[in-house]
């Protein structure tokens, strides 16, 4: 019986060995092409995902910058069109989160309070940083005088 078992085991081993060897035949050209194409598709998908993330990030930056320009424009307009601040020299700076910094010179405390209040009341401004000084501002004015000259013939 041991001899029969040994022969049966040998035959089974031979069959399994042949089957395993047949399964490990060299890959065909088609299989190699499929593997390379699959790798290329995976690489392309990673690149597309990376590009998509980059585009989303850049879009967010552009949208934030546009909102800040709009906010800067609103603050600037309110300050520069107010008649009480006609003699003031005010520069504005707006950050990403709505923090607005006012720098420059205003003629008096009343003008300073007015500028700070206008900036604070502007929609989108979250905080106002006061960098204004009170003092004389120089404003250039041009005057024209006319002189009539008579000529005799």
Per residue, the 3-state secondary structure of 52-78, as one string, reads HHHHHHHHHHHHHHHHHHHHHHHHHHH
Nearest to 115 by CA among 100, 94, 126: 100
Choice between 152 and 31, residue whose per-residue pLDDT is larger? 31
On whether residue 5 sits in a domain, the answer given is no
Tell me the residue range of the domain where 62 lies.
31-141
CA-CA distance, 88 to 106, in Å (whole number)? 4
Mean predicted lDDT score pLDDT of the chain: 76
pLDDT digits (tens, 9 = 90+) for 96-114: 788 999 999 999 999 999 9
On whether residue 54 sits in a domain, the answer given is yes
- The CATH number for 56's domain is 3.30.1340.30
On whether residue 103 sits in a domain, the answer given is yes
3-state secondary structure (DSSP) of residue 143: coil
pLDDT digits (tens, 9 = 90+) for 42-90: 877 787 788 888 888 888 877 776 665 688 888 988 998 998 898 899 9
CA-CA distance, 132 to 87, in Å (whole number)? 13
Nearest to 102 by CA among 115, 113, 114: 115
* Tally of domains in the chain: 1
């Amino acid at each position: 019986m041991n001899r029969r078992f040994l022969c049966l085991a040998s035959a089974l081993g031979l069959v399994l060995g042949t089957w395993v060897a047949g399964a490990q035949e060299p890959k065909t050209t088609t299989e190699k092409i499929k593997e390379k194409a699959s790798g290329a598709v995976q690489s392309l998908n990673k690149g597309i995902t990376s590009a998509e993330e980059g585009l989303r990030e850049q879009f967010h930056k552009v949208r934030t910058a546009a909102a800040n320009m709009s906010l800067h424009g609103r603050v600037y307009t309110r300050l520069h069109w107010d008649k009480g601040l006609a003699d003031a020299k005010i520069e504005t700076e707006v950050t990403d989160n709505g923090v607005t910094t006012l720098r420059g010179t205003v003629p008096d405390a009343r003008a300073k309070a007015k500028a700070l209040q206008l900036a604070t009341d502007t929609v989108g401004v979250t905080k106002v940083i006061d960098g204004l000084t009170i003092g004389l501002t120089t404003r250039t004015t041009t005057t024209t005088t006319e002189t009539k000259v008579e000529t005799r013939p």
